[in-house]
Amino acid sequence: MYNVLIVEDDPMARKLMEIFVSASSRYRLVPSIDSAAMAELYCMTNPVDLILMDVQTALDANGIEFSEKIKKRFPNTKIIIITSQPEFSYIKRAKKIGVDSFWYKEPTADALIRLMDRTMQGESVYPDAPPKTRLGAAYNSDFTTRELEVLRELVTGKTDAAIAETLCISVTRVKQHIQSLREKTQFSNRTELAVKARESGIVIGNYGDS
For the chain, counts of helices (H) and of strands (E): 9, 9
Query: 80, 103 in Cβ contact below 8 A?
Result: yes
Rounded to an integer, the average pLDDT of 1-10 is 96
* Torsion sign across C-alpha atoms 58, 116, 98, 107: negative
pLDDT reading at 208 higher than 80: no
Type of residue numbered 154: L
Phi, psi of 88 (to 5 degrees): -65, -25
Least confident of 55-59, 72-76, 157-161, 199-203: 199-203
Separation CA 40–CA 193 (nearest Å): 37
Sign of the torsion angle spanned by Cα atoms 52, 82, 39, 30: negative
Distance in Å from the first CA to the final CA of the chain: 39
What is the C-alpha separation between 209 and 47, in angstroms, rounded? 31
- pLDDT bin (cut points 50, 70, 90) of residue 205 is low
Cβ burial of 200 (10 Å; 0-12, 13-18, 19+) is middle
Summarize the confidence of residues 57-62 as an average pLDDT.
Answer: 92
> Which tens digit of pLDDT belongs to each residue from 86-98?
998 999 999 999 9
Query: Is 209's pLDDT higher than 50?
Result: no
Q: How many CB atoms lie within 10 A of CB 156?
A: 17
pLDDT tens digits along 158-186: 999 999 999 999 999 999 999 999 999 99
State the average pLDDT over residues 173-202.
94
What is the share, in percent, of the chain residues with pLDDT greater than 70? 97
Alpha carbons within 13 angstroms on the beta-carbon side of residue 209 total 6
Which letter does DSSP use for residue 33 in this model? B
